[in-house]
Amino acid sequence: MPDLVVSEDKIIERILTMELVRVTERAAVASAKWRGRGNEKAADQAAVDAMRRELNKLPIEGTVVIGEGERDEAPMLFIGEKVGTTKGPKVDIAVDPLEGTTLCAKDMPGSIAVMAMAQSGTLLYAPDVYMDKIAVGPGYPAGIVDLDAAPEDNIMALARAKGVKPGEITALVMDRPRHAELIAKLRAIGCSIRLITDGDVVGVIQCAEPATGIDIYLGIGGAPEGVLAAGALRCVGGQMQGRLILDTPEKIARAATMGITDPRKKYGLMELAAGDTVVAATGVTDGALLSGVKFRGEIIETETIVYRSTTGTVRRIWGEHRELSKFHLD
């Protein structure tokens, strides 16, 4: 007989899964109203305000461990901010209310509203700095790639495991001058590179979706985005490593106040997101992972994906919201 007794914590977390969908839906709709208006700040602020409002309705005692900057940068959802009604489980919250603000402001593909919720103390509590990352999808032997190995060696190892030539491997890299050397090394062995301008939460997740053709994510992006992506990968079973870039005494000191004693530490997937994690993301503009918000008269349509690591369940949820109803989204 299977064990049908599920702990109260798990039941609460399961119930809250749908609540996270509501949170990212509302953040996405709020920022979608700013799509294509060239105003990144306003689009971001709209997402933050909507997300905070919805988070504060949830029956949780939440602490933002991954947010948009530090306390003095409020009115953003700052690291350390308390959210929720406090009448519920203690949880860690990671947010990127508008991932890809530029994409939204320019109405380009790939911006999303995204957040994660996990057991208290299990998401990496990290400052808003850069992170060097490497990620692959599920199905490879553990340790197939390594952040400290040469990029060429990682591609070779992956190609061998896949039974293909390095030229048949596609890497996803953010199009930044800081990646010039990485890109040159990958091209030198014939690897194909898909460059993205922004949005590396989706970039990492795409490694786990065979239809995207992406085999590996490599390079430096935001640390918050790294933790959010790790939460989703935890669910679908890929591999990931990340290292915070703490390249000034100030950043090292700031990280130390958050409990990071080894500034060069290489975090594995299970250290970036160690506990039961739920990640929800709603499309703002159309993108590879999600459709963007559609405004159709009185109806607003949203598409959300929600990952729950406890069971490995991935759900895609289409929402139809009626703006004139009392549940209107602003």
Residues in contact with ligand VTB by CB under 6 A are 99-100, 174, 176, 198-201, 221-222, 225
Q: How far is the CB of 86 from ligand VTB (least distance, A)?
A: 30
Q: How far is the CB of 178 from ligand VTB (least distance, A)?
A: 7
By C-beta, is 100 or 127 nearer to ligand VTB? Answer: 100
Dihedral-angle region of residue 190 (phi above 0 means left; psi in -120 to 50 means alpha; beta otherwise): left
By C-beta, is 58 or 76 nearer to ligand VTB? Answer: 76
By C-beta, is 40 or 323 nearer to ligand VTB? Answer: 40
Residue-wise DSSP of 257-297: HTT---TTPEEEHHHHB-S-EEEEEEESS--SS-PPPEEET
Tokens found for residue 169: 């491997």
By C-beta, is 12 or 193 nearer to ligand VTB? Answer: 193
Q: Which residues contact 16 (CB under 8 A, 6 or more apart)?
A: 58, 59, 60, 117, 278
Query: Rounded distance, CA 49 to CA 43, Å?
Result: 10
Q: How far is the CB of 202 from ligand VTB (least distance, A)?
A: 8
Write the DSSP symbol of residue 177: G
Q: How far is the CB of 262 from ligand VTB (least distance, A)?
A: 22
Q: How far is CA 162 from the centre of its chain?
A: 26
Query: Rounded distance, CA 285 to CA 111, Å?
Result: 5
Q: How far is the CB of 16 from ligand VTB (least distance, A)?
A: 25
By C-beta, is 158 or 205 nearer to ligand VTB? Answer: 205
By C-beta, is 2 or 177 nearer to ligand VTB? Answer: 177
Q: How far is the CB of 51 from ligand VTB (least distance, A)?
A: 15
Residue 231 CB-half CA count within 13 A:
32
By C-beta, is 55 or 172 nearer to ligand VTB? Answer: 172
Q: Can you give the C-alpha Rg of the chain in angstroms?
A: 19
Q: How far is the CB of 156 from ligand VTB (least distance, A)?
A: 27
Element (H, E) at 185: helix 180-188
- Identify whether the C-beta of residue 60 lies closer than 8 Å to the C-beta of residue 89: yes
